[in-house]
Amino acid sequence: MTTDHDLKTVGKTLFGRYDAENIPLFSVSAGVSIEEALEHASCLMGCVRELTLVDSMGDEADVRVWSAHYLGEMAKAIIDDVTIGLKHSRTRP
């Protein structure tokens, strides 16, 4: 039986499609515990929250908005990869 401590990221989530050919620049690494991965995603989302809060009150929006966008993309990739791993673990006997 698989426990939560045995669950790892699968490394199937690609992100950072910034060029004209839509080729992903980054990927989530396989083998990271889901606890560590989700903790990191939470930290990234905390940064997004702070950047967007500051941005809603400031004049220099461009850099912070793009920073928040990239951090949000990273957090989403981590969460998506954890979700794939959880689905795979439930289909295994």
Amino acid, res. 4: D
Model confidence pLDDT, tens digit, residues 19-61: 999 999 999 999 999 999 999 999 999 999 988 887 666 666 6
Phi/psi at 88 (5° precision): -65, -40
Match 């060029």 to its residue by tokens: 19
Q: Which of 48, 86, 80, 43 minimizes the C-alpha distance to 66?
A: 48
Domain ranges of the chain: 4-91
pLDDT in the model for residue 74: 96
Match 């979700």 to its residue by tokens: 83
- CB 53: neighbour CB atoms within 10 A? 12
